């Protein structure tokens, strides 16, 4: 019996280790989070083994461990309550549903009523150990092939779908506990074991279907966002093309007239009509200057030049001073869609913040060094900002700080570094992008 308790504790230890390890893909550990994991894993193992060895109602065990896992996630990880609850119910739910299914099959096989099996002892520990090992195998398979980090991040980025999944699992978990509690009152044990097994299967399948549906919807929304980003990219490239077209047409007209103008200037100078000649030269200078303004180059990379042209035009319309040149290295490993998303989020934040300030300006600079490209984007702002960069204002697109969070995740994905600082009423964003 002691050996069985030990092996059950080890099974639970392995399951909890896998639980924390998988959740670390979605949230960062707190300062002492990794140390707490090694403290909580044996503690949880003892709790699980104790609850199975003693006669505790299943619904009590379910609720206790759901609350405990929620607390552990909040203590170990720097995450939101919603995400912590997802982690808790995801693992506790499937463990107890698997336990219900194994208990039903075990009851039918050994011809022992479920009510007796649940009273603790050898059979309860054996059932729980089998369930824990099956859940470990199930989670390893799911996390590798189905519930991948990329797919789950789509769900976490979609609060509506995440709440839908949590609601379904919460209701199904409570329903499973009600069915399990019915073992105290049924007289036909074979009938109840069969119903218990079928219920466990249905609950598990429905919960998994809800999770898959949430992932599919979230993926579709993410693809829609990418489509919108591509449309915005195309719009900026068209705007860039029109600006360049205006630039070339101006020079075409100037080239058509400049020979005639030079001939006129030559004639005026020969006749000592210096004032008239100077007047024509001044007009030529104004024409050249207007064409230069019509297509000011902001980057050596055409795509980025198009992005900056778009925001420069917005700034002109809103009386915001926009200036700077961004050098881009072709050796940087970043696809075009990522580049557009990165800089449109930064420039959108800068544009909105500068629009609320008195100084109203945005400047961009870059510097290539060793294996890094350093980019600095400065903008004026009204001085009101939170530590997490969430704005005190809410726009039709949500919190302005969301754009900065997207930038941070994007930079992390390419091995870059993103940081920010404020000086007086100036916000400064620093990007350090690896050049490979």
Q: How many other C-beta atoms can be found within 10 angstroms of the C-beta atom of residue 141?
A: 11
In a domain, 271, yes or no: no
For the question of whether the overall pTM of this predicted structure is more than 0.95, the answer is no
Same domain, 184 and 321: no
Domain end call among 219, 237, 262: 219
With a cut of 90, say whether residue 220 has pLDDT above it: no
Higher-pLDDT residue of 303, 203: 203
User: How far is it, in rounded angstroms, from Cα 278 to Cα 276?
Assistant: 5
Adjacent-strand bridge partners of 422: 427
Confidence of residue 134 (pLDDT cuts 50, 70, 90): very high
Q: Which of 65-74, 135-144, 162-171, 220-229 has the lowest mean pLDDT?
A: 220-229
In a domain, 169, yes or no: yes
Which pLDDT tens digit goes with each residue over 224-268? 666 666 666 666 666 655 666 565 666 566 666 666 677 777 777
- CA 307, chain centre distance (Å): 23
Same domain, 205 and 302: no
Same domain, 6 and 133: yes
| 17 in Cβ contact with 76 (< 8 Å) | no
With a cut of 60, say whether residue 396 has pLDDT above it: no
Same domain, 214 and 336: no
In a domain, 360, yes or no: yes
Same domain, 96 and 185: yes
In a domain, 149, yes or no: yes
In a domain, 24, yes or no: yes
Higher-pLDDT residue of 386, 58: 58
| 179 in Cβ contact with 199 (< 8 Å) | yes
Pairing of strands 361-369, 321-324: parallel
Residue 410 backbone zone (phi > 0: left; psi -120 to 50: alpha; other: beta): alpha
Higher-pLDDT residue of 254, 135: 135
Burial class (CB in 10 A: 0-12, 13-18, 19+), 160: exposed
Domain carrying residue 422: 297-436
The pLDDT of residue 240 is 59
Domain end call among 195, 219, 243: 219
How many domains are there within the chain? 2
Higher-pLDDT residue of 279, 251: 279
Same domain, 329 and 426: yes
The pLDDT of residue 235 is 67
With a cut of 50, say whether residue 319 has pLDDT above it: yes
Domain end call among 187, 219, 251: 219
Q: For 302-323, what is the mean pLDDT?
A: 87
In a domain, 85, yes or no: yes
Measured at the alpha carbon of residue 117, what is the angle toward residues 113 and 120, in degrees to the nearest 5? Answer: 155
Higher-pLDDT residue of 183, 339: 339
Report the mean per-residue pLDDT for the chain: 80
3-state SS assignment for residue 331: coil
The pLDDT of residue 162 is 87
Q: What are the tokens at 205?
A: 């399948």
With a cut of 60, say whether residue 222 has pLDDT above it: yes
Same domain, 302 and 194: no
With a cut of 50, say whether residue 372 has pLDDT above it: yes
The pLDDT of residue 178 is 83
Higher-pLDDT residue of 61, 52: 61
Q: How many other C-beta atoms can be found within 10 angstroms of the C-beta atom of residue 218?
A: 22
Confidence of residue 311 (pLDDT cuts 50, 70, 90): confident
Confidence of residue 125 (pLDDT cuts 50, 70, 90): confident
Q: What are the tokens at 145?
A: 């092939």
Which pLDDT tens digit goes with each residue over 11-22? 777 888 888 888
With a cut of 60, say whether residue 150 has pLDDT above it: yes
- CA 137, chain centre distance (Å): 27
């Amino acid at each position: 019996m002691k050996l069985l308790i030990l092996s059950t504790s080890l099974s639970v230890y392995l399951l909890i280790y896998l639980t924390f390890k998988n959740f670390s893909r979605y949230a960062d550990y707190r300062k002492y989070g990794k140390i707490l994991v090694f403290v909580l894993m044996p503690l949880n193992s003892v709790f699980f083994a104790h609850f199975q060895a003693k006669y505790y109602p299943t619904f009590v065990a379910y609720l206790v461990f759901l609350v405990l896992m929620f607390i552990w996630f909040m203590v170990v990880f720097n995450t939101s309550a919603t995400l912590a609850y997802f982690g808790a119910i995801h693992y506790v739910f499937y463990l107890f549903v698997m336990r219900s299914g194994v208990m039903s099959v075990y009851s039918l096989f050994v011809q022992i009523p479920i009510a007796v099996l649940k009273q603790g002892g050898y059979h309860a520990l054996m059932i729980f150990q089998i369930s824990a090992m099956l859940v470990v195998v199930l989670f390893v398979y799911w996390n590798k092939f189905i519930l991948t980090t990329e797919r789950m991040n789509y769900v976490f980025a979609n609060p509506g779908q995440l709440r839908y999944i949590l609601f379904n699992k919460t209701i199904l978990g409570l329903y499973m506990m009600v069915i399990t509690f019915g073992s105290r009152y049924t007289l036909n044990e074979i009938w109840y074991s069969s119903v218990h097994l079928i219920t466990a299967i249905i609950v598990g399948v429905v919960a998994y279907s809800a999770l898959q549906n949430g992932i599919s919807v979230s993926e579709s929304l993410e693809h829609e966002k990418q489509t919108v980003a591509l449309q915005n990219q195309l719009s900026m490239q068209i705007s860039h093309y029109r600006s360049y077209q205006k630039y070339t047409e101006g020079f075409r007209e100037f080239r058509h007239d400049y020979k005639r103008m030079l001939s006129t200037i030559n004639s005026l100078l020969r006749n000592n009509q210096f004032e008239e000649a100077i007047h024509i030269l001044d007009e030529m200078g104004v024409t050249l200057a207007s064409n230069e303004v019509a297509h000011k180059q902001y980057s050596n990379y055409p795509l980025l030049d198009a992005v900056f042209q778009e925001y420069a035009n917005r700034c002109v319309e809103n009386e915001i001073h926009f200036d700077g040149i961004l050098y881009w290295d072709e050796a940087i490993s970043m696809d075009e869609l990522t580049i557009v998303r990165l800089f449109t989020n930064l420039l959108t934040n800068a544009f909105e913040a500068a629009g609320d300030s008195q100084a109203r300006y945005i400047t961009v600079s870059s510097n290539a060094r060793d294996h890094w490209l350093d980019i600095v984007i400065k903008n004026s702002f009204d001085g009101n900002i939170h530590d997490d960069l969430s704005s005190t204002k809410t726009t039709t697109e949500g919190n302005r700080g969301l754009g900065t969070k997207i930038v941070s995740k994007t930079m992390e994905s390419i091995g870059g570094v993103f940081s920010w600082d404020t000086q007086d009423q100036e916000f400064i964003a620093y990007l350090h992008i690896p050049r490979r």
